[in-house]
Amino acid sequence: MKRSETLQPLSREHHTALVYAKRLLNLYEQDSEVMLSYWAGVCEGVQSDLNTHFKEEEVLIQGINEPLLDRFKDEHRQLRVLMHAQDAEGLKAFAHLLKGHIRFEERELFPCLETCHYDILQRNL
């Protein structure tokens, strides 16, 4: 399904976030110290990008009453905490949640928003 113009930029950003999640998980499997070193080098930029992305999504869904948004908001809260993890297990949990969250948004939430709440999305641009 082609993503609406409103959500296309967010979907593109999801791809980049998935690359980071996959890289973290691959490094965890190889050597957790290498994973921590990698994260130390990229975390500031990733955290900034994700926080900006989360805020954009949260502004976009203002005024929408949708049960799926409970999960969306809870996972954003969890991701904001986990992205500051200082240990390999915490970063592994962050990467898994990020990967699952993006899949949830792309496969469930975004299609629902486009189908049932498109008019509100357009107003919140």
Q: What is the mean pLDDT of the chain?
A: 94
Q: How far is CA 42 from the centre of its chain?
A: 16
pLDDT over 70 (residue 86): yes
Per-residue pLDDT band for 23 (boundaries 50, 70, 90) equals very high
Kindly state the DSSP code that residue 108 receives in the 8-state scheme.
I
Question: Is residue 1's pLDDT more than 80?
Answer: no
The answer to whether 114 and 5 are in contact (CB under 8 A) is: no
Question: In this predicted structure, what is the pLDDT of residue 21?
Answer: 97
* Packing angle, helices 68-82 and 88-104, rounded to 10: 150
Comparison of pLDDT for 86 and 125, the residue scoring more: 86
| pLDDT at residue 125 in the model | 65
d(CA 48, CA 37) in angstroms, rounded, equals 18
- Retrieve residue 50's tokens: 């994700």
- Does residue 118 register a pLDDT over 90? no
Indicate if the alpha-carbon torsion angle 96, 47, 33, 18 is positive or negative.
positive
pTM over 0.85: yes
Give CA–CA dist 26/17, Å, rounded.
Answer: 14
